[in-house]
Amino acid sequence: MALRSKALHHGRSLSFPSRSNPSVSQFNENLAKIEASTTMEAKLNGLRNLYSDIDDLLMLPHIQQIIAQECQTKWIDQVLDGYISLLDACTTAKDLFSQIKQQVQELLSALRRNDVNGINNYHISKKKSKKMILKSLKDLRSLRCKKSNSSSEKDDETMALVCMLKEAESVTIAVFEGLLSYVMGNNVQAKSSAWSLMSKISNQSEETDLNEMKEMDSIIQILEEEI
């Protein structure tokens, strides 16, 4: 699935000034790798590694102390709300790819059997999936446009934690926007999409179609592990 998703931009590298930790450097490295990745599967794997780094950092005693001190503040609520929305987007993407995989399998079967009704059912299912994608993209764009109210008066370590979580949220939104746009067939750098499989069947081998299925399986597996 060779495509480049929407550009991922992030600012300076993140660090906790008073305490160095390997997970911080790893976080910055994985953030850069996601930006440099040229396939959707690589970007999703990068996200998985990124959130593993975040898990490690959040388990550190001094980070837990910061969170305990800030638990009643607005930025904590904002971060939690944002990640709940991202979890919904992840679930939607996983469900969509599972549906599309089934739709393509049914379409291939219908074409082999010259089943006109089966082909028509594919188009009906495609329209329903498209509506789900558009809604999810709208929700992601709304989340991206939300302003953060974190105070600049907080200490450096707290601000570094806020920035890290917001950077992870931003890059996740960008990856999922790219993923859903890929499914829609809107990414101009994508040579093919799930929707264009039907036009390829007449002039490409079944081996190519099976490769598409394997790529979908890989993405579905990654999404399932993230939920």
Distance CA 183, CA 170 (A): 20
Query: Burial of 127 by CB count in 10 Å (0-12 exposed, 13-18 middle, 19+ buried)?
Result: exposed
Distance CA 29, CA 34 (A): 9
Dihedral pair phi/psi, residue 11, rounded to 5°: -85, -140
Give kind and range of the element (H or E) at residue 187.
none
Q: Would you place residue 226 in the very low, low, confident or very high pLDDT band (cuts 50, 70, 90)? A: low
Q: Would you place residue 194 in the very low, low, confident or very high pLDDT band (cuts 50, 70, 90)? A: very low
Is 16 within the bounds of a domain? no
Is 122 within the bounds of a domain? yes
Q: Would you place residue 171 in the very low, low, confident or very high pLDDT band (cuts 50, 70, 90)? A: very high
- Total domain count for the chain? 1
Distance CA 76, CA 162 (A): 9
Is 137 within the bounds of a domain? yes
Is 34 within the bounds of a domain? no
pLDDT at 58 over 80: yes
| Domain encompassing residue 153 | 74-226
Distance CA 77, CA 92 (A): 23
pLDDT at 26 over 60: yes
CA distances from 211 to 34, 153, 158 (A): 23, 53, 46
CA distances from 148 to 38, 121, 151 (A): 29, 44, 9
Is 198 within the bounds of a domain? yes
| Helix/strand number for the chain, H first, E second | 8, 0
Is 2 within the bounds of a domain? no
Would you tell me how many other CB atoms lie within 10 Å of the CB of residue 5?
24
Q: What is the mean pLDDT of residues 55-84?
A: 82
Q: What is the mean pLDDT of residues 91-111?
A: 82
Is 89 within the bounds of a domain? yes
Q: What is the mean pLDDT of residues 187-204?
A: 43
